[in-house]
């Protein structure tokens, strides 16, 4: 069966929407058919509706596409689509995604449905088996489509590094983040707020980081997800960096592995996307750098085309078991790339 699909992007003019467009250029399976955004943008050509902030040029054929309103009727009128990527802002995403999910698979970057019990919160390398929630969701809600969600950007990269540590008996995680500006969208953070400064608060971020990983790393018992039972504490901060969240992580591992064992677990880690050789899967989900001052956002965020998480400075911790730094590209692995990889997984599994 062909894996070719036509897709709509909801919230196509925002920072994550732009990243979806950029990453889907030349994608072997997925073709952008419809661009949808808010009423303010609807009716305009994309180039007139969007302040394009990607480093690569706006593709010409995308520039000339008409933007339509973010509702099922408008999208259906604009083209036949197989499924939908949602890059909608939080508040708006809830009801709009529900409307679409009645008819179409929805791969959502929004937080609205992440913690719904019947909605999978997927990282394809970490918990592909959670896709088993989808038939349950469809049946319960009477939908032809479904909603599959990606975690928060700062959660995804952390959870990828926690997965190979689970076997050591992970019981506690403490994390302090240094997050990039693009995580706040566009225009997002005012230059006057961040130049020569750090903003030690990101609204809602700590709550997401402290609740999502347990669901992601939980187990599916045939009916529902049983959350993993480690505890997590986070402190989230914004630094003057364009892309790439850096996280200082301290973990308690009951089996007390050595630094070498932890490093080996990171390096050996592979998931289903690697086995299935999915188009957007990085060769290594986790890349370990051994230089004392890595990972660094500017140098490491594009590792694996932005889909690898880079880990460094793994060392013993005098209080917990170990500490390390991890870095991920927040709008690729942490957002648009995550959604595309999830869709690739679901297509391969025959779900979307």
- CB 52 to a second copy: min, Å: 9
Catalytic residue (choose from 50, 113, 130, 245): 245
Interactions with a second copy, residue window 260-299 (CB under 8 A) = 292-299
Between 336 and 343, name the residue whose CB sits nearer to a second copy.
336
Could you say whether residue 313 binds a second copy (CB under 8 A)?
Answer: yes
Given 43, 48, 187, 204, the residue binding a second copy (CB under 8 A): 187
Given 140, 226, 231, 259, the residue binding a second copy (CB under 8 A): 231
> Is the omega angle on the peptide bond into residue 18 within 30 degrees of 0, that is, cis?
no
In order, the DSSP letters of 50-110 are -----SSPPPHHHHTSBEEESSHHHHHHH---SEEEE---HHHHHHHHHHHHTTSEEEE-S
Q: What would the x/- binding string for a second copy be over residues 17 to 56, using CB under 8 A?
A: ------------------------------------x-x-
Between 178 and 336, name the residue whose CB sits nearer to a second copy.
178
For residues 313 and 319, the answer to whether their CB atoms sit within 8 Å is no
Opening angle at CA 33, ends 30 and 35, nearest 5? 115
Between 99 and 317, name the residue whose CB sits nearer to a second copy.
317
Between 197 and 258, name the residue whose CB sits nearer to a second copy.
197
Between 295 and 337, name the residue whose CB sits nearer to a second copy.
295
The whole-angstrom distance between residue 266's C-alpha and the CA centroid of its chain comes to 19
Could you say whether residue 192 binds a second copy (CB under 8 A)?
Answer: yes
Could you say whether residue 312 binds a second copy (CB under 8 A)?
Answer: yes
Could you say whether residue 317 binds a second copy (CB under 8 A)?
Answer: yes
| Alpha carbons 264 and 267: distance in angstroms, whole number | 5
Number of residues in contact with a second copy, rule: CB under 8 A?
56
Interactions with a second copy, residue window 81-120 (CB under 8 A) = none
Verify whether residue 326 is a known catalytic residue. Answer: no
Given 1, 191, 222, 260, the residue binding a second copy (CB under 8 A): 191
Between 196 and 260, name the residue whose CB sits nearer to a second copy.
196
Interactions with a second copy, residue window 157-176 (CB under 8 A) = 172, 174, 176
> Is the omega angle on the peptide bond into residue 295 within 30 degrees of 0, that is, cis?
yes
For residues 2 and 50, the answer to whether their CB atoms sit within 8 Å is no
Burial of 97 (0-12, 13-18, 19+ CB in 10 A): buried
Count of beta carbons in the 10 Å neighbourhood of residue 299: 15
| Alpha carbons 93 and 95: distance in angstroms, whole number | 6
Verify whether residue 329 is a known catalytic residue. Answer: no
For residues 67 and 49, the answer to whether their CB atoms sit within 8 Å is yes
Give strand pairing partners of 286. Answer: 309
Chain positions contacting a second copy, by CB under 8 A: 15, 53, 55, 172, 174, 176, 178, 181-182, 186-201, 203, 210, 231-233, 235, 237, 239-242, 246, 248, 250, 292-299, 302, 312-313, 317-320, 323, 325
Active site residues: 153, 245
């Amino acid at each position: 069966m062909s894996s070719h699909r036509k897709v709509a992007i909801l919230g196509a003019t925002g920072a994550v929407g732009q990243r979806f467009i950029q990453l889907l250029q030349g994608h072997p399976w997925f073709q952008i058919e419809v661009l949808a955004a808010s009423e303010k943008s609807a009716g305009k050509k994309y180039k007139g509706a969007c302040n394009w902030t990607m480093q690569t040029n706006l593709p010409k054929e995308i520039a000339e596409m008409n933007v339509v309103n973010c509702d099922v009727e408008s999208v259906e009128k604009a083209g036949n689509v197989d499924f939908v990527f949602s890059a909608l802002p939080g508040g708006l995403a809830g009801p709009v995604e529900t409307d679409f999910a009645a008819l179409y698979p929805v791969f959502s970057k929004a937080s609205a449905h992440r913690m719904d019990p019947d909605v999978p919160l997927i990282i394809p390398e970490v918990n592909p088996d959670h896709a088993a929630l989808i038939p349950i969701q469809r049946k319960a809600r009477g939908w032809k489509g479904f909603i599959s969600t990606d975690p928060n950007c700062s959660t995804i990269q952390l959870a990828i590094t926690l997965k190979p540590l689970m076997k050591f008996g992970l019981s506690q995680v403490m994390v302090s983040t240094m997050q990039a500006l693009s995580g706040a969208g566009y225009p997002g953070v005012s230059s006057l707020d961040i130049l020569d400064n750090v903003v030690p608060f990101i609204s809602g971020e700590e709550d997401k980081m402290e609740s999502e990983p347990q669901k992601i790393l939980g187990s599916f018992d045939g009916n529902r997800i049983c959350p993993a039972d480690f505890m997590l504490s986070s402190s989230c901060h914004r630094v003057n960096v364009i892309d790439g969240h850096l996280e200082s992580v301290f973990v308690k591992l009951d089996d007390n592995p050595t630094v070498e064992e932890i490093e080996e677990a990171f390096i050996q880690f592979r998931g289903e996307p690697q086995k299935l050789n999915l188009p957007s899967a990085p060769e290594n989900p986790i890349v370990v750098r051994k230089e004392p001052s890595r990972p660094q956002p500017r140098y490491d965020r594009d590792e694996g085309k932005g889909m690898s998480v880079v880990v460094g400075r793994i060392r013993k911790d005098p209080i917990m078991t170990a500490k390390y730094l991890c870095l991920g590209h927040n709008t690729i692995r942490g957002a648009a790339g995550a959604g595309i990889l999830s869709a690739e997984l679901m297509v391969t599994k025959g779900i979307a």
